[in-house]
Amino acid sequence: MIQEKIREKARELLSNKTVDLIIGFGEGSLPLRTTPRFIRDPEKVNRLIWNSFCENNLATYLHKFSKLKVGIVVKGCDARSITALSLEKRFKPDQLFLMGVPCQRMVDRRKVGRAVKGEILQAREENDLIHVKGDGFEIALEREDFLYPSCQACMHRNPIHVNVTLGDPVEESPLIESYHEAKRFEQMSPEERWNFFERETSRCIRCYACREACPMCYCTECFVDSSNPKWIEKGLSPSDIQFYHIVRAYHQTGRCSGCGACERACPMEIRLTYLTQKLNRDVKELFNYETGIEPDIPPPLSTYEIEDKQDFIK
Amino acid sequence: MTLKLDKKDLKAFLETLMEEYDLFAPVKLAEGVSIYKKIDSPDEVDLSTENPQKPAKEVFFPQSETMFRYEKAGKRYQMTSTEGVERERVILGARPCDIQAFSLMDDVFLGKEYKDVYYGNKRKATTIIGLACPHPLSTCFCSSAGGGPFLRKGSDLFLIDLGEMFIVELLTEKGMAFQKNKFFREANTKEISLAKGIEEKASTKADASVPIGGIDRRSDLMMENPFWDRMHEKCIGCGVCTFLCPTCHCFDIVDEAITDKGQRVRNWDSCLFPLYSQETSGHNPRPTGRERTRQRLMHKFNYFPKNFGRVACVGCGRCILYCPVNFDIRQAIKLTSPKEIKKVKDEVDLTRQ
């Protein structure tokens, strides 16, 4: 069982001092949830768990622990984020020990919550079913009907460039068409696209959960926080909010692993991944580049060649 | 005084209400997402939603509020005040937790030392129609925080949903002004006892076991406790919990200016953002998540009680529900017991060696 393997490996890494800290997932305080767990004591590894609710991209925590040797539990997307961060020289050599887990695809807790009438008080995962229980109901739901869209379309469930893989490899076959959100967005007319973007961002409360949940957002000073120069106002004017979201997405070009952490973090349930997915698709089509696959090739917009074609300049 | 309002009359009631008042009520923005908003049409009002994400504090303390406008006129500047409230207001459908939070906000904005005119003018002009919570969630702990799902204190009128109708209780002078409202009729004893039954059932549901009592004393000596070394680790430093908290009230004042005109604006701010405590010199007295998480919890459970005699938490559970990493304030509160603190301290000491 993967959970046992994670614990075993974590115990080993802490005991032989390969790492100072393990970052993994622990039991959440709510049904359908896990919570990031930080373990330093090999005796406490039993606090680590693994299930279909391990939705966070734990790579975002690595910026907090730059002075420690860290062992981290990673899914396919999380591992790709770390490879992308390594390219940006965020880690010292051998600072990290990646415990890769072939991912079974994560479950969208809000979608599950909406499938039943009443609050879910208990949830249990068993094979391909999620058993949920509340006041006056108890039903089993098909796990596959409640996966996050980013997970449904995932093409890299097996973590790559990891120190160890815990669990058997899974088949790389998206359940739905890859880049489906981007394609749907492309099919809209410019006016429809704008309306969609405008409607979604209108709910933004500028809590920056999307930024903080994202491992790639680590600027010492985010452009929205700069007061000199001041790029953006801090209120709720639509143009400021839209500006933030456009820049946030563009800054991810060729750097986003498509993990969906931004969208999962949003308390206002703003759709965000269609934007980054569109940029990922463009980068794939124009440069045949995918984030975090090649450990030595920087993202296209972070580099240049003197022989680069410039035929777009007329 | 106990009356009733048939739900089939709700729309007409709201229409007449809007003739006299600016109406603020829950509006659904997307599946499962709602906020309190100024109502343009009664059809927008959605009283069936769960407690909206954004708390009702926004009606008195908007996330972004213009304090005044200025414009160059010849050699001088012309100032325009935005302090006034043009019409009387009604908040409809605020839950008891949010209404309890108003009284905490009053301590801050309408306290002895300082009276905030922007908050005060709106507050004074507002009639509050509370809505009882028949189904508290498992994350609700209002009953631990001095409130309860049917707490009427702070409401001028109070609604209890009976399915086909609302029971309407008139509680204050502002509420009694609705006594003659043509859509309100006398409730019969059967309806009143039905409402009582719902109340009794609901009151057992909100968690009353979160140990908030005495937390201000318990947390007195916690400032330098290694407890914080661990507490903050999972916090990613976003503003979800503070922005969605009905009692968090920190703001930042900025000038939005273009050439010769502009406006002074105050925006919600969050103590979890590094920029919040960043000083002009570049020094930040709260440099890491450790100090910032500590600030958030200590403000709620230590400093605020010191200043105003009660904790700045009403147990609405929003910070628990919407935290992207499942930081649970109830667990943090429980960890402040001397026994738990010692456990954490021992663990930190052990791993520090």
Residues B147, B266 within the same domain: no
pLDDT at residue B234 greater than cutoff 80: yes
Residues B190, B43 within the same domain: yes
Nearest residue on chain A to B229, alpha-carbon basis: A38
Share of chain A above pLDDT 70, in %: 100
Residues B222, B196 within the same domain: no
Report yes or no on B15 lying in a domain: yes
What's the pLDDT score for residue A141?
A: 98
- Across all residues in chain B, what is the average pLDDT? 94
Which value does ipTM take for this structure? 0.95
Query: Could you read off the pLDDT of A160-175 as tens digits, one per residue?
Result: 999 999 999 999 999 9
Distance of CA B123 to the CA centre of its chain: 14
Lowest mean pLDDT segment, chosen from A14-23, A297-306, B114-123, B342-351: B342-351
What is the C-alpha separation between B203 and B150, in angstroms, rounded? 7
Report yes or no on B83 lying in a domain: yes
pLDDT at residue B343 greater than cutoff 80: no
Cβ within 8 Å, pair A209-B31? no
Report yes or no on B55 lying in a domain: yes
Query: Could you read off the pLDDT of B190-227 as tens digits, one per residue?
Result: 999 999 999 999 988 888 899 998 898 888 878 888 88
Instruction: Give me the number of domains chain A comprises.
Output: 2
**How many other C-beta atoms lie within 10 A of the C-beta of residue B169?**
21
What's the pLDDT score for residue A304?
A: 85
* Single pTM value for the model: 0.95
Segment A36-58 shows an average pLDDT of 97
Among residues A118, A146, A174, which one ends one of the domains? A146
Question: Does A234 touch chain B if contact means CB atoms closer than 8 Å?
Answer: yes
Residues A128, A274 within the same domain: no
Range from A99-108, B69-78, B258-267 that averages highest in pLDDT? A99-108
Q: Which residue of A20, A29, A111, A204 to mutate against B (max B Cβ within 10 Å)?
A: A29
- Across all residues in chain A, what is the average pLDDT? 96
Report yes or no on A236 lying in a domain: yes
Residues B197, B238 within the same domain: no
Q: List the domain range (segments joined by +) for residue B291.
A: 215-352
Task: Please report the DSSP string for A186-197 in residue order.
Answer: HHS-HHHHHHHH
DSSP element (H, E) containing B217: helix B215-218
Residues A38, A178 within the same domain: yes
DSSP element (H, E) containing B2: strand B2-6
Cβ within 8 Å of residue B283, ≥6 positions away? none
b/e map of A215-234 (b: 16 or more CB within 10 Å)? bbbbeeebebbeeeeeebbb
Report yes or no on B316 lying in a domain: yes
Residues A221, A81 within the same domain: yes
Query: Could you read off the pLDDT of B131-190 as tens digits, one per residue?
Result: 999 999 999 999 999 999 999 999 999 999 999 999 999 999 999 999 999 999 999 999
- For residue A244, give the nearest of A226, A261, A257 by alpha carbon: A226
Report yes or no on B236 lying in a domain: yes
What's the pLDDT score for residue B350?
A: 67
Report yes or no on A314 lying in a domain: no
pLDDT at residue B54 greater than cutoff 60: yes
Nearest residue on chain B to A213, alpha-carbon basis: B236
Confidence of residue B351 (pLDDT cuts 50, 70, 90): low
What's the pLDDT score for residue B218?
A: 85
Confidence of residue B67 (pLDDT cuts 50, 70, 90): very high
Among residues B160, B178, B203, which one ends one of the domains? B203
Report yes or no on B209 lying in a domain: no
Among residues A94, A118, A146, which one ends one of the domains? A146
User: In degrees rounded to 5, what are phi and psi of residue B252?
Assistant: -130, 135
- For residue A15, give the nearest of A58, A48, A45 by alpha carbon: A45
What's the pLDDT score for residue B352?
A: 60
Report yes or no on A309 lying in a domain: no
Report yes or no on B208 lying in a domain: no
Residues B114, B262 within the same domain: no
Residues A8, A124 within the same domain: no
Among residues B158, B179, B203, which one ends one of the domains? B203
Name the residue facing B53 among A29, A36, A267 (closest C-beta).
A267
Among residues A91, A121, A146, which one ends one of the domains? A146
Question: Does A29 touch chain B if contact means CB atoms closer than 8 Å?
Answer: yes
Report yes or no on A121 lying in a domain: yes
Residues A18, A71 within the same domain: yes
For the packed helices A273-287 and A180-187, what is the interaxial angle rounded to 10 degrees? Answer: 90
N-to-C CA span, chain A: 59
Instruction: Give me the number of domains chain B comprises.
Output: 2
pLDDT at residue B94 greater than cutoff 90: yes
User: In degrees rounded to 5, what are phi and psi of residue A115?
Assistant: -80, -15
Q: List the domain range (segments joined by +) for residue A250.
A: 2-108+147-302
Query: Could you read off the pLDDT of A185-216 as tens digits, one per residue?
Result: 999 999 999 999 999 999 999 999 999 999 99
Question: Does A119 touch chain B if contact means CB atoms closer than 8 Å?
Answer: yes
* B165-170/B157-161 β-pairing: antiparallel
What is the C-alpha separation between A86 and B100, in angstroms, rounded? 49
Residues B195, B223 within the same domain: no
**How many other C-beta atoms lie within 10 A of the C-beta of residue A92?**
10
Confidence of residue A305 (pLDDT cuts 50, 70, 90): confident
Residues 207-226, chain A, touching B (beta carbon < 8 A): 207-209, 211-213, 225
